[in-house]
Amino acid sequence: RTKAPGAGRKVAMLIHPRMALLDLVGPQTILRILGCDIYLVAKTLDPVSTDVGISVTPDITFDHCPNDLDVLFVPGGLMGSLVAMEDQQTLSFLADRGASAKYVTGVCTGGLVLAAAGLLKG
């Protein structure tokens, strides 16, 4: 049996209020198919309401997210991203994990959150 191309790769996907659900679920689906270990990470383990009112329950908190990530991912969602860009706890988490992640990426306005955390240069 062939090993999945993403097997063993650690991917942290930020869950934040009013994020665009599609921005999370689309990439998450592909990463799961590839066999990646996905961590849905947020400040707490409380369910988080998305832009369409569907709640997503995080797997892990900022404090317990692995330090050795292959990928740090931030979904977009205009209103949610604007709030996340002002949230110091979220920005500190992203700056910390993003500094050592092999890849830092996002979808749409998730890039603004990454920039606010100081992770995009150039």
pLDDT in tens, 55-93: 999 999 999 999 999 999 999 999 999 999 999 999 999
Catalytic entry in 78, 82, 95, 108: 108
pLDDT at residue 1 in the model? 64
What's the DSSP call for residue 54? -
State the first-to-last Cα distance of the chain, in angstroms, to the nearest integer: 42
Residue 4's pLDDT band, with cuts at 50, 70 and 90, is confident
Name the residue among 95, 29, 40, 30 with its Cα closest to residue 65. 40
Q: Is the per-residue pLDDT at 99 higher than 70?
A: yes
Query: Superfamily for 10-116?
Result: Class I glutamine amidotransferase (GATase) domain (3.40.50.880)
Q: Is the per-residue pLDDT at 116 higher than 90?
A: yes
Answer yes or no: are the C-beta atoms of 41 and 12 closer than 8 Å: yes
Average pLDDT over residues 33-40: 97
The neighbouring-strand residues paired with 41 are 14, 60
Q: Is the per-residue pLDDT at 6 higher than 90?
A: no
Beta pairing class for 55-56 and 48-49: antiparallel
- 108 catalytic per annotation: yes
